[in-house]
């Protein structure tokens, strides 16, 4: 038995496609022995997961990982003059009006 319980499918997804696209999807689904709906959902979900992973996961090689950790562990540097001026201006405009 699968460790992950099968999620109940209660939502509908509808799409209009050209005859050419429908024929293509039917042919590909047949190669995998699936219905068109199962084929489309399976491949759309897999692609969606890859897209989300590409946007949300940061991958570092060993050198980049070391550099990142060193930056986290390093003592903070003094803020630049422009940053200090911006903080002063922020306090003057925003904090003083609260």
Each residue of 21-68: pLDDT tens digit? 999 999 999 999 999 999 999 999 999 999 999 999 999 999 999 999
Q: Report the percentage of the chain scoring pLDDT > 90.
A: 82
Residue 1's pLDDT is: 46
Judged by DSSP in three states, 12 sits in coil
- Please give the structure tokens belonging to residue 75: 């003592």
Helix (H) or strand (E) holding 11: none
The number of folded domains in the chain is: 1
**Cα radius of gyration (the chain):** 26
Q: Indicate whether 65 belongs to any domain.
A: yes
Residue 98's pLDDT is: 63
Q: Residue 54: which CATH number? A: 1.20.5
Q: Within 33-80, where are the H helices?
A: 36-56, 62-73
Q: Are 86 and 95 in contact (CB under 8 A)?
A: no
Q: Indicate whether 51 belongs to any domain.
A: yes
Contact partners, residue 57, CB within 8 Å, separation at least 6: none
Structural domain of 38:
12-75
Cα(38)–Cα(52) distance, integer angstroms:
21
Q: Indicate whether 6 belongs to any domain.
A: no
- pTM exceeding 0.85: no
Q: Indicate whether 47 belongs to any domain.
A: yes
Q: Are 38 and 29 in contact (CB under 8 A)?
A: yes
Residue 2 has pLDDT above 60, yes or no: no
């Amino acid at each position: 038995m699968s460790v992950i319980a099968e999620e109940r499918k209660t939502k509908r997804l509808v799409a209009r496609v050209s005859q050419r696209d429908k024929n293509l999807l039917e042919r590909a689904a047949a190669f995998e022995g699936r219905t068109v709906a199962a084929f489309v959902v399976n491949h759309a979900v897999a692609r969606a997961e890859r897209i989300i992973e590409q946007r949300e996961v940061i991958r570092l090689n060993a050198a980049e990982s070391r550099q990142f950790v060193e930056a986290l562990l390093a003592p903070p540097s003094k803020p630049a003059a422009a940053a200090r001026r911006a903080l002063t201006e922020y306090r003057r405009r925003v904090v003083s009006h609260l």
